[in-house]
Amino acid sequence: MKTYLNKQILLSLIIVWAMLLPAPAVHADTATAMATIQAGVSDIFSIEFYIDGNVLYNTNIPFTLIDPTKQMCYADSRREYDGKSDTGVLCRTNMNVPWYLKMSVANASAPALPLGNFKFYMGQPWNRTLNKSADGQLTYSPNWTAVPTAPTVIYTAGPSDKNNLPYGTLGTLSFSIYPQGLVAGSTYRVNITYTITTSP
C-alpha cells in the first residue's frame, strides 16, 4: 500500500513538473505586404467676386442717381446703414503662406472722375470656413477712404487665412461718390482692380 502511495505521489510530482516545464517553441510562418499611398495636393490661390443677399453687385456697381445736392451718394438700391455691401471679393488658398489683398482704381472715361471724390469702406473680412471674423489686419480702419490709384494693400491675411479652404475669406466693400464739382450730364466710369498676392 505504501509503495502504491509512493508511486501515486511520484506520478503526481512528475505531472506537476511536466506542467512547469516551458512549452516547446512553436514555429509560425509570417508574411507581410506594405502599400504606400501618395497624395498630391493642388495649390489653390484665387480671387473671385461673391454675391449673396447682402452683397449686391460684382463687376458693375451702378451710380445712376447722383444727386448733386447731397454730400455723399451711394450706389443704386443702397442707403446709409442698410447693412449691405456693394461688392465682395472672395480669397481662397491652401498654400499656408501670408497673402495680401490689393486694390487700385483708374479712370475709364472722359471726363475723368476726380478720384478724390470716390471713396470706399471696408470692414473686417469674414472667414467663411471658420464662420467668424478673419484674423488679419486691415490697412485702413473702417471709414470712408479715398480709393488708391496705385495697387495698395487693403488687407493682410492672418494665420487662419493662410489655409482657408473650402469657403475662403470674404472681403466686402462699399463705395460712395462725393458729387461736389461733378459736371451735369457727364457719365463717369472707373475701373477697380483687386489682386491677391504673396508680395506686399
Q: Pairing mode, if any, of strands 85-93 and 55-57?
A: parallel
Domain ranges of the chain: 45-197
- Of 158, 161, 165, 95, give the one whose Cα is nearest residue 129: 165
Tens of pLDDT, residues 71-85: 999 999 898 889 999
Indicate the SS3 state at residue 116. Answer: helix
Q: Is the pTM of this model over 0.75?
A: yes
Indicate the SS3 state at residue 36. Answer: coil
Tens of pLDDT, residues 92-101: 999 999 999 9
Q: How far apart are CA 191 and CA 128, in angstroms?
A: 27
Residues 86 and 174: beta-carbon distance below 8 Å: yes
